[in-house]
Structure 1
């Protein structure tokens, strides 16, 4: 499932980059040889995966879209979460630390490369329900504020978070 999500995230990112390139490139422009195609594909993969990702590397930093209000790293499982916020913590293999996303603005967030354990801290207004959706759009887990995730929450089945 984690590999499926990684591939889906990479394909989505490549599609966005290629769409942007096609929108700005004349229709008659085409690569003159296979080497040009390979170079273009290589650049797209690097752009879609982020600056930290190099082709051939196996680890990719977890990300979220739209952007979180704040992103930070913690060395252990403990972290604070501002009132009115859902803070989601996931292991980042590229840094060897937990990456914490502070989700303040009411939104549905799409997750990429979250195939690991972690947790969350639902410190939103009392009674606010956060929902965690799986790949088919079904609710995998829900959390009513104030609450803290079960120990070692499994992010692998979660594809989206709706924080309010």
Structure 2
């Protein structure tokens, strides 16, 4: 025996299937558009998330830099100890820098063409930094 389907029932089923496909596609696009990569360095250095509402803490011998981590929803602080030049990835927001190195080491940040953007003396001061134009750090 053959089942008869109504025209309106078929149209309703097709409409629901299409609406479901469009909704899931839109949700996937929205979630991928809002996910951003966490900030990193190369070579890698020790980093940790700052507790909500706290400022940068930097132990002796380090140049420390904090930047917003969109995946964690908090600031992440990076501890640069070994003397080197470090490339930055996904450092897109404002943050802080503090130079607690010893021996008068001066930390410098550089732009895309290798031009020096700023320098930070080992004075223990906390400096506001726009990390957006910064491509690398040399901590000594």
**Contact residue 132 and residue 142 of structure 1 kept, 8 A:** yes
Q: 1:78 aligns to what?
A: 55
> Residues of 1 paired with 2:134 and 2:54: CA distance?
19
In structure 1, runs of 5+ residues without a counterpart are 1-53
Q: 1:158 aligns to what?
A: 134
User: Structure 1 residue runs of 4+, over 3 Å off?
Assistant: 54-58
> Residues of 1 paired with 2:53 and 2:64: CA distance?
15
In structure 2, runs of 5+ residues without a counterpart are 1-30
Report the alpha carbon displacement of residue 121 of structure 1 after superposing the two structures with TM: 1.0
Taking only aligned residues, the RMSD between alpha carbons, in angstroms, comes to: 1.6
When the two structures are aligned, how many residues end up with a matched partner? 109
Choose which of 84, 91, 95 in structure 2 pairs with 1:107: 84
Residues 1-164 of structure 1: matches in 2 within 5 Å?
Answer: 56-68=33-45, 70-74=46-50, 75-151=52-128, 153-164=129-140
In structure 2, relative to structure 1, the CA distance for the partners of 1:146 and 1:126 (3 Å cut) is farther
Report the alpha carbon displacement of residue 161 of structure 1 after superposing the two structures with TM: 0.2
Could you tell me the TM-score, scaled by structure 1's length?
0.62
Could you tell me the TM-score, scaled by structure 2's length?
0.72
SS in 2 for 1:150: strand
**Contact residue 87 and residue 136 of structure 2 kept, 8 A:** yes
